[in-house]
Amino acid sequence: MVFMLFVVLFIGLPLLELAILIKLGQWMGLMSTIMLVILTGMVGAALARFQGFLVIRRIQSELQQSRMPAEQLLDGLLILIGGVVLLTPGLLTDIFGLCLLLPFTRTLFKRGLRKWFDRMIQRGETRIYINF
């Protein structure tokens, strides 16, 4: 199961991205396609930086109030993943990365991630330790 996921992720996705870029290049032209990929990368990097600073500020605020910044840490994780995904060339990965960076779409991913964590805890697949 995990092996097939890696095959799809590391072989299937790049092939699909390449096919999309080739078709887009035929439709828009080579330079327009290259500029689109560069533009999405630059916009994504700026958005990741901005969102990252906001999350860091919210984490600091929660810690100053002696509260665990669980939601902000999930935001930070998703922003990090979105920024890394934007570094890979391709339009599908850029769209996915931008969805992780935009707060209103990131909330959907965060909700799903939280449910996944909850299921892991309920099944006993992970443990949470709190030290005071």
Taking only the tens place, the pLDDT of each residue in 49-78 is 999 999 999 999 999 999 989 889 999 999
Averaged pLDDT score across all residues of the chain: 88
pLDDT at 127: 67
Handedness of CA 71, 74, 78, 84 (dihedral sign): positive
List helix spans (H) across the chain: 2-7, 13-28, 30-64, 70-87, 91-101, 103-123
Take residue 2 and report the two structure tokens written for it: 């995990």
What is the pLDDT at residue 132?
65
CA distance 17 to 13: 6
Mean pLDDT of 19-36: 91
Of 23-27, 50-54, 69-73, 87-91, give the lowest mean pLDDT range: 87-91
Q: pTM of the entire structure? A: 0.80
Give the tens place of pLDDT for each residue, 101-130: 999 999 999 999 999 888 888 888 776 677
